[in-house]
Structure 1
Amino acid sequence: MPRQDIEGSAARAAALRMLDAVLRRDETLEHAAGFATKGLPPADAALAVAIAGETLRRLPDLDALIDSAMQRPLPEDAKARTVLRLALAQKIGLDTPDHAVVATALPLVDGGPRRLVHGVLSTLLKRDRLLDDEPPRLPDAVARRWFKAWGKDVVMAARRALASRPPLDLSFKAEPVKFDGVKLAPLHRRLTDAGKVTSLPGFAEGEWWVQDLAASLPARCIPDDASRVLDAAAAPGGKAMQLAAAGHQVTALDRSKSRLRRLRENFTRVGIEAEIVEAALEDYAPDAPFDAVLLDAPCSASGTLRRHPEVLYRARPAVIEQMAEVQHRLIDAAAKLVGPGGHLVYATCSLEPEEGEEIVTAFVERNGDFSIDPIALDIDGIAADEAGWLRILPGMLEAQGGLDFFFICRLVRKG
């Protein structure tokens, strides 16, 4: 059998292209998968994404393992190192048989150091155990940063969160009468081993949409009596759908035409209506102020590591600093659209204080007519801290499957 025709090689080649796009070109795994898996059967495409994701979850441990079998370490960006990474990730995380690990790795280095890759794999696969039972290590720079901000326990909880793929959370338009899954909050169900999302009951009828429980919290912080509500960074639409389903008159704003296209598709499937506006928040000039504005601001997304492990390598200090500058501008722009006595809910899916606590603290200091309105939600295990804001940290609801990591603060304007 020709090397390129070995069963499963196409999926591994696609995984290699994804890893190259993420680690060398700073792309998201989702975007990289779009071109890397083009033309593959669905099963092969899914396998490629699983291999790339598993590799990114375990990268520091995989590198240490590879280095332990070599006298002279390979360069960080060497193709052979990446091939070894994805080969070992299959063995460790996907229980791929040894012969398949080797057979599908070698074609990826045709014309290159095949003997080296074969030798390293042969050496490592003879070991009784490749890794200990500790959860995956974080990149050193990330571990140091989060240890300084949150302490050892949170770093360990983040490592445990990284170890496995998260469950599937659904948000409902109305409380379901009969639906499998665990209810952790109103209008919510959590599923494990859900299978194909579009095959779940109620999908075609638009009864629900996929949304991590943590991502649903910002919309839950909008007061019930707020009539006109602006979702200031609305796409892909989960929070705007929550607000509309709750009876608010919603304006969904986003500057991205392509993201708004997806939002419209989601709204159509679910059967929810809202005013949809394509504009930059800083340029938006409505006819009247809003009773409440929700700003789930663009950020480093470091809090989404459970679903997007590549953020550990994309959310670098320079990116965090750049996004914080954007957030300062956006929260000021959002505040201008809040009427007297109205509310502003600011949120980011980030574990970085620079994108959460520091943004709000600086905002309140320069905007004397706004103050923090303490958040209280009827969800066990989720509560505001003494400052009144919500900081969703690794470890919260861990026994129930965990959450993405968010910062959420509700501010009220003087009447």
Structure 2
Amino acid sequence: MSDTPRARTAPRKPARPGGQPARAPGLPARRAALRLLDAVVRRGLPLEAALSAATQGIDRPEDRALAHAIAAEALRRLPDLDALIDSATSRPLPDDAKARFVLRIALVQALALGTPGHAAIATVLPLVDGGLRRLVHGVFGNLIRKGVTLPEFPTLLPEVAFRWAEKWGDDFVTAAERAIASPPPLDLTLADPDETAHWEQELGGTSLMPGHVRLYDAGPITSLPGFAEGRWWVQDIAASLPARLLGAGRGKALDLCAAPGGKALQLAAAGWDVVALDRSAGRLARVHENAERMGLSLDIREGDVLRWEPEAPVPAILLDAPCSATGIFRRHPDVLHRVRQRDITEIAELQSAMLARAVDWLQPGGTIIYATCSLEPEEGEQQIEKLLHDRSDLEIVPPRPDELPVGCVSDTPHLRTGPTMLADKGGLDGFFIARLVRKG
């Protein structure tokens, strides 16, 4: 992030009397938000991965949460924030100009997060100095005096809108802009689907299918009834569908790329003898923690799908492959700012290698579920088309209506969820899911 929109020709001037002190109230959270935004937009890091370093030295959880909220909302609204900034400057600020980043943070607070204008600008001015401070203060003041607003639904990044319009149509882009306008509801997967009615009432939520409850105003997760007892875990309903398509347990199931473990827990709760494999020891620690809280038994192993192999063929495999994660843009708007076409192409090659290797581990008559939380056909439809072309011993088995949420319809042999589905009920994350059986 550059400090100025142009080369500095004079030494910095000291702050004027009455300027904000270096430790103004609220400053640490705004400085952390600036670091987060820079980490995502300029350095291409995931927002969650950058959070720890950006908030280092901040002790109060509410300040860390505020920094995250400011950065996430700015990422949701970035094209619209930049359009406002550009409308108030004689020439556009460079994309990496510190003044642009600081203005994004000030404007998103005032226009989207309900922060009073005077507080929004006062808490960011200490992040710049000299001429930049005057520039930021002037641009912000002019825009606020004009009474500018942000659109009801954010504008997608042009490259993302073009890519999705080309692949899925303009209505899909419109639905995506509506979906990213606010964080989605919280979905819970129940350990016992027979308790759906009980937990729907106990938690004050809505169920879209057995074993699921959706909460629209959840509050702290760990304080909800049933958390400590392991009666449910957090999992978007779309993310729960791959394991559901394997049905009730009939022996050993491999959950490949298993962390953080939601699908492995589903399979174990459904009666499968689960081997949960992941290459990351750190992420596997979360699988251990979740399994212990739920009281479910998993055979947890560290290994790479491209090098590891099972002792013998198995009747069931779930490959939730590494992907671009563009399907979870509602929860993680940073993904739209980080993923480029070259990333999609590279990861699609990895998915192909994993899928080709995994199908060889199936018993005759066995089932493999291939899934990605991606909205890119290179990571979904094209993978299955290629696999079926190369392997005559596989056939695709479409999902049945009773295996899907109420109102969720698939008119293809595979399942593609996304922003156009169940929008009136809070929507779904974007997933591609295909169920294939190895012919006996």
CA distance in 2, matches of 1:383, 1:343: 22
Deviation at 1:24, TM superposition (A): 1.7
- SS where residue 170 of structure 1 aligns? strand
Q: TM-score, normalised to structure 2's length?
A: 0.92
Deviation at 1:112, TM superposition (A): 5.5
Amino acid of the structure 1 residue aligned with 2:36: M
CA RMSD of aligned residues (A): 1.2
Show the counterpart of 1:394.
419
- SS where residue 124 of structure 2 aligns? helix
CA distance in 1, matches of 2:250, 2:414: 19
CA distance in 2, matches of 1:35, 1:269: 28
Amino acid of the structure 2 residue aligned with 1:366: D
CA distance in 1, matches of 2:324, 2:381: 15
Instruction: Tell whether the 8 Å contact from 1:143 to 1:155 is kept in structure 2 after alignment.
Output: yes
- SS where residue 293 of structure 1 aligns? strand
- SS where residue 281 of structure 1 aligns? coil
Q: Counterparts in 2 of 1:248-287, with a 5 A limit?
A: 248-287=272-311
CA distance in 1, matches of 2:78, 2:154: 8
Show the counterpart of 2:10.
none
CA distance in 2, matches of 1:174, 1:132: 42
Show the counterpart of 1:52.
71
Q: Counterparts in 2 of 1:153-172, with a 5 A limit?
A: 153-172=171-190
Q: Counterparts in 2 of 1:187-266, with a 5 A limit?
A: 187-224=211-248, 226-266=250-290
**In the comparison of the two structures, how many residue pairs are matched?**
413
Amino acid of the structure 1 residue aligned with 2:257: A
Residue 100 of structure 2 corresponds to residue 81 of structure 1? yes
Cα deviations across residues 273-327 of structure 1 (Å, max 9, x unaligned)?
1111111112222221111100000000001100000110111101000110000
Show the counterpart of 2:431.
406
Amino acid of the structure 2 residue aligned with 1:182: T
CA distance in 1, matches of 2:330, 2:268: 28
Instruction: Tell whether the 8 Å contact from 1:166 to 1:402 is kept in structure 2 after alignment.
Output: yes
CA distance in 2, matches of 1:158, 1:198: 30
Amino acid of the structure 1 residue aligned with 2:426: G
Show the counterpart of 1:334.
358
Show the counterpart of 2:143.
124
Q: Counterparts in 2 of 1:302-313, with a 5 A limit?
A: 302-313=326-337
Structure 2 residues without counterparts, runs of 5 or longer: 1-17
Residue 43 of structure 2 corresponds to residue 25 of structure 1? yes
- SS where residue 179 of structure 2 aligns? helix
CA distance in 1, matches of 2:262, 2:109: 33
Instruction: Tell whether the 8 Å contact from 2:251 to 2:315 is kept in structure 1 after alignment.
Output: yes
1:106–1:147 Cα change, 3 Å: same
CA distance in 1, matches of 2:270, 2:338: 35
- Aligned with residue 363 of structure 1, among 380, 387, 391: 387
Residue 163 of structure 2 corresponds to residue 145 of structure 1? yes
CA distance in 2, matches of 1:308, 1:54: 10
Q: TM-score, normalised to structure 1's length?
A: 0.97
Instruction: Tell whether the 8 Å contact from 1:167 to 1:190 is kept in structure 2 after alignment.
Output: yes
- Aligned with residue 316 of structure 1, among 323, 340, 348: 340
Show the counterpart of 1:10.
28
Deviation at 1:262, TM superposition (A): 1.2
1:251–1:85 Cα change, 3 Å: same
Instruction: Tell whether the 8 Å contact from 1:171 to 1:210 is kept in structure 2 after alignment.
Output: yes
CA distance in 2, matches of 1:163, 1:128: 21
Instruction: Tell whether the 8 Å contact from 2:241 to 2:404 is kept in structure 1 after alignment.
Output: no
| Range with greater deviation from structure 2 (310-319 or 216-225) | 216-225
Amino acid of the structure 2 residue aligned with 1:131: L
1:170–1:114 Cα change, 3 Å: same
Cα deviations across residues 91-123 of structure 1 (Å, max 9, x unaligned)?
121011010011012111135611100000000
Instruction: Tell whether the 8 Å contact from 1:296 to 1:347 is kept in structure 2 after alignment.
Output: yes
1:5–1:225 Cα change, 3 Å: closer
Moved over 6 A (4+): none
| Range with greater deviation from structure 2 (335-344 or 284-293) | 284-293
Deviation at 1:228, TM superposition (A): 1.3
1:378–1:147 Cα change, 3 Å: closer
CA distance in 2, matches of 1:39, 1:170: 33
CA distance in 1, matches of 2:115, 2:426: 25
CA distance in 2, matches of 1:361, 1:226: 28
Residue 87 of structure 2 corresponds to residue 68 of structure 1? yes
Instruction: Tell whether the 8 Å contact from 1:385 to 1:391 is kept in structure 2 after alignment.
Output: no
CA distance in 1, matches of 2:418, 2:230: 31
Cα deviations across residues 144-189 of structure 1 (Å, max 9, x unaligned)?
0000000011100000011001111111111332422100111111
CA distance in 2, matches of 1:287, 1:128: 67
